[in-house]
Structure 1
Amino acid sequence: MAVLSDEQADAAAAELDGWSRSDGALRRSIKFPSFLAGIEGVRQVAEAAETADHHPDIDIRWRTVTFALVTHSEGGITDKDVAMARDIDRIVSRLDS
């Protein structure tokens, strides 16, 4: 799997909801309405990550959860990261409904 160029990664991030390229990864921070809502979001993302066999780095700070995506085995951002970002966006949008 090929690593995306900086331009490709920036273009992909621009098409995603709230994502940016930072420190070599795609990142998005989401503020949930409560701590437990954030934990539920993490749980659902974890299920999707297990299914895809592609796992984000996750940082939980009270109600704010930050997801970071990079394909460590390839040394950069790949299409797998963009696909997982889309999955995370779908999960979060369902939780907001």
Structure 2
Amino acid sequence: MAARIYQIQKNALQSGKALTRKWVLEHVPTEAKKPDPLTGWAGSGDTEQQVKLTFPSEEAARAYADRRGIAYTVLPTAPKTLKIQAYADNFR
């Protein structure tokens, strides 16, 4: 049983920074999804991949994983890059 710990990134359609300070612990799928023969929906027997736990900090997520004996990897947060341009640049 392995998990990923990462910080939620801002959505491209989101202007504010709401919910971007939270950290998520998400289990890595252990079994591939396969289509159901009757409905055609994708599914698997692995129920842990349906669970996403949120934490206020990275330390809290690590402590939870250590208490439960879950092997984890922490994904680094991508650096925020701003493309600063003036409105007049649209008309060059």
Same fold (TM over 0.5): no
* Alignment TM-score, normalising by the size of structure 2: 0.29
Structure of greater Rg: 2
